[in-house]
Amino acid sequence: MKKVKVVLASLRAPASRPFVDPAKLARMGPFDPGKYQPIWVEESANVLTIIDGMTRVEAARLAGLTELVAYVFTK
Protein backbone atom coordinates (compact mmCIF):
# COMPACT_ATOMS: atom_id res chain seq x y z
CA MET A 1 0.00 0.00 0.00
CA LYS A 2 1.21 3.48 -0.81
CA LYS A 3 -0.28 6.89 -0.04
CA VAL A 4 -0.23 9.15 -3.10
CA LYS A 5 -2.24 11.81 -4.93
CA VAL A 6 -4.38 10.38 -7.71
CA VAL A 7 -6.00 12.20 -10.62
CA LEU A 8 -9.77 11.99 -10.30
CA ALA A 9 -10.25 11.57 -14.04
CA SER A 10 -8.17 8.38 -13.90
CA LEU A 11 -10.44 6.66 -11.35
CA ARG A 12 -12.98 4.00 -12.25
CA ALA A 13 -16.08 3.28 -10.19
CA PRO A 14 -16.42 -0.26 -8.87
CA ALA A 15 -18.80 -2.52 -10.80
CA SER A 16 -20.67 -3.25 -7.56
CA ARG A 17 -21.47 0.45 -7.02
CA PRO A 18 -21.16 2.44 -10.26
CA PHE A 19 -22.80 5.63 -8.94
CA VAL A 20 -22.98 7.86 -5.87
CA ASP A 21 -26.04 8.04 -3.62
CA PRO A 22 -27.36 11.60 -4.22
CA ALA A 23 -28.81 11.83 -0.69
CA LYS A 24 -25.45 10.95 0.88
CA LEU A 25 -23.72 13.49 -1.34
CA ALA A 26 -26.22 16.18 -0.30
CA ARG A 27 -25.70 15.41 3.41
CA MET A 28 -21.95 15.74 2.97
CA GLY A 29 -22.15 19.46 2.18
CA PRO A 30 -19.23 21.44 0.73
CA PHE A 31 -16.13 19.31 0.25
CA ASP A 32 -13.13 20.03 2.46
CA PRO A 33 -10.19 17.72 1.62
CA GLY A 34 -8.65 18.27 5.05
CA LYS A 35 -11.79 16.98 6.76
CA TYR A 36 -11.89 13.51 5.20
CA GLN A 37 -9.68 10.42 5.16
CA PRO A 38 -7.90 9.47 1.93
CA ILE A 39 -9.86 7.34 -0.50
CA TRP A 40 -8.88 3.69 -1.09
CA VAL A 41 -7.99 2.57 -4.60
CA GLU A 42 -6.96 -0.73 -6.16
CA GLU A 43 -4.49 -0.66 -9.05
CA SER A 44 -4.65 -3.60 -11.45
CA ALA A 45 -3.22 -3.58 -14.98
CA ASN A 46 -2.77 0.22 -14.75
CA VAL A 47 -6.48 0.71 -13.94
CA LEU A 48 -7.39 2.52 -10.71
CA THR A 49 -10.66 1.30 -9.21
CA ILE A 50 -12.21 2.98 -6.18
CA ILE A 51 -12.56 0.61 -3.22
CA ASP A 52 -13.79 3.18 -0.71
CA GLY A 53 -14.60 6.85 -1.24
CA MET A 54 -17.06 7.17 -4.13
CA THR A 55 -18.93 10.00 -2.41
CA ARG A 56 -15.69 11.83 -1.54
CA VAL A 57 -14.53 11.55 -5.16
CA GLU A 58 -17.80 12.97 -6.51
CA ALA A 59 -17.83 15.77 -3.92
CA ALA A 60 -14.24 16.65 -4.84
CA ARG A 61 -15.15 16.74 -8.54
CA LEU A 62 -18.11 19.01 -7.83
CA ALA A 63 -15.80 21.29 -5.81
CA GLY A 64 -13.48 21.60 -8.81
CA LEU A 65 -10.63 19.49 -7.47
CA THR A 66 -8.66 17.33 -9.89
CA GLU A 67 -6.67 15.22 -7.39
CA LEU A 68 -7.19 13.50 -4.05
CA VAL A 69 -4.92 11.67 -1.66
CA ALA A 70 -5.47 7.91 -1.84
CA TYR A 71 -4.19 4.69 -0.37
CA VAL A 72 -3.32 2.64 -3.45
CA PHE A 73 -3.21 -1.15 -3.25
CA THR A 74 -1.61 -3.10 -6.09
CA LYS A 75 -3.33 -6.28 -7.14
Closest CA to 7 of 69, 74, 59, 51: 69
Question: For 14-46, how does the pLDDT look when each residue is reduced to its tens digit (9 = 90+)?
Answer: 988 888 999 999 998 889 988 999 999 999 999
Specify the DSSP class assigned to residue 37.
P
Confidence of residue 7 (pLDDT cuts 50, 70, 90): very high
Alpha helices in the chain (DSSP H): 22-28, 54-62
Fold of 2-74: 3.90.1530
Q: Give residue limits of the domains in the chain.
A: 2-74
Mean pLDDT score of the chain: 93
